[in-house]
Amino acid sequence: MISKDEIDEALRRYDKERITIATLCSHSALQIFLGAKQEGFRTLGICKPESKKVYDSFPLASPDEYLVVDSFEEILEDEFQMELRKRNAVVIPHGSFVEYVGPKNLETGFFVPMFGNRKVLEWERDRKKEMKWLQKAGLTLPQVFEDLAEIDRLCLVKFYGAKGGRGFFLVGSGEEFKEKIAKAGRKLLNGESDDYFIQEYVLGLRYYPHYFYSPTFRRTELFGVDRRDECNIDGLYRIGATREEIQKFGSYVVTGNLPVVVRESLLNKLIDMGNKVVAASQDLFPPGIVGPFCLETICRDDLEFVTFEISARIVAGTNLYPLGSQYSCYLFEEPMSMGRRIVREIKLASEKERLEDIIY
Ligand code: AMP
């Protein structure tokens, strides 16, 4: 793990008047660049040649400068990282950046200052740690079945590292599980395996609240909510699919996002959940989570939110709100996207000479 001291030392050498906001040209980069410009920062896009035209197509959100790479591995090269440091770059890690560079590589081989607490990467990537965090926060979680004989309801079989839910399937019993896992060409390991796990399928509606924890204001902000559009499970109703057809053809590949609001009377619960996740993170990996995170939840008809995952960074669902969201308008008088919110925190911390509180 790159030490905090090493990053603090690099930050001390930065020219604070010339900080550059850098990120990979992908995922939520448009709102990050727009937000950085709105806050008066220089911007830098790390970019594959084929993505450049996307960012050039949107002049208000195109970075001031590009560093073009042919492969994402180049990002880890010393020379490349020194270029970033030379430009006083603070990197904003979004989902694609973390995925393409690799969370482990970021922990051990990326020595450029990044927004947020780098320790969170481990708590997000290791499923056992993730569950420990959510449990400590006292959230309601779906049941996980380790003994096939105990499967007594509809379950989702999930594969570790599956991109966009690819390969997940539904089962209603231990027998059905055995049949399907064989068909999927996976080994049956008494229902326990490092490769997959069996989770209760929670019946209800999905809400993915976005939060921002601000060390400057010492508060957790509920910033927006979205729901993911998932192909093809969200389209199967159009053919009146039966449960058998859903189980046979259903897939969960994210293709887009939809805006949603929750009943105002449910906001209390969402705010409470965000605060509890922050408090647990502060105990587990001090100083805890810094900046954006998102809970993937399902609201049941007893109005309980069941959380099945946390994303400890800016999520693509925030792309719905580049000029502010259904909740950010009650927090800030100006249009405030999540990208801009991140950069605002950098600006506030820099003014107070407390950048080391929010950068690791
Ligand atoms: P994940 O890869 O864990 O984000 O899951 C992909 C998708 O599968 C989610 O966005 C949900 O639509 C669905 N899903 C995941 N876990 C559950 C669950 N326990 N109950 C119902 N649906 C789920």
Which tokens belong to 170?
């539904």
Residues with a CB atom less than 6 Å from ligand 1: 142, 156, 158, 165, 199-202, 206, 228, 230, 252, 296, 298, 308-309
Inform me whether the pLDDT recorded for 247 exceeds 90.
no
Q: What is the pLDDT of residues 5-41, one digit of tens each?
A: 999 999 999 999 999 999 999 999 999 999 999 999 9
Confidence of residue 191 (pLDDT cuts 50, 70, 90): very low
CA of 291 to the centre of ligand 1 (A): 24
pTM of the shown model = 0.95
Atom of ligand 1 nearest to the CA of 309: 3
CA of 341 to the centre of ligand 1 (A): 28
CA of 84 to the centre of ligand 1 (A): 37
Q: How far is CA 295 from the centre of its chain?
A: 9
The CATH number that domain 4-115 falls under is 3.40.50.20
Domains 125-140+203-351 and 148-200 share a fold: no
**Looking up tokens 């709105």, which residue turns up?**
38
| Domain formed by 148-200, architecture | 2-Layer Sandwich (3.30)
CA nearest neighbour of 107 among 3, 7, 9, 1? 1
Task: Return the domain boundaries, the chain.
Answer: 4-115, 125-140+203-351, 148-200
Q: Which residues contact 161 (CB under 8 A, 6 or more apart)?
A: none
On whether the CB atoms of residues 294 and 307 are closer than 8 A, the answer is no
Which tokens belong to 20?
């550059």
Q: What is the pLDDT of residues 161-189, one digit of tens each?
A: 767 677 888 999 999 999 988 888 777 65
From the candidate CATH numbers 2.60.40.10, 3.30.470.20, 3.50.50.60, 3.30.70.20, the one assigned to the domain spanning 125-140+203-351? 3.30.470.20
State whether residue 75 is helix, strand or coil: helix
Inform me whether the pLDDT recorded for 42 exceeds 60.
yes
Residue-level pLDDT at 48 = 97
CA of 97 to the centre of ligand 1 (A): 22
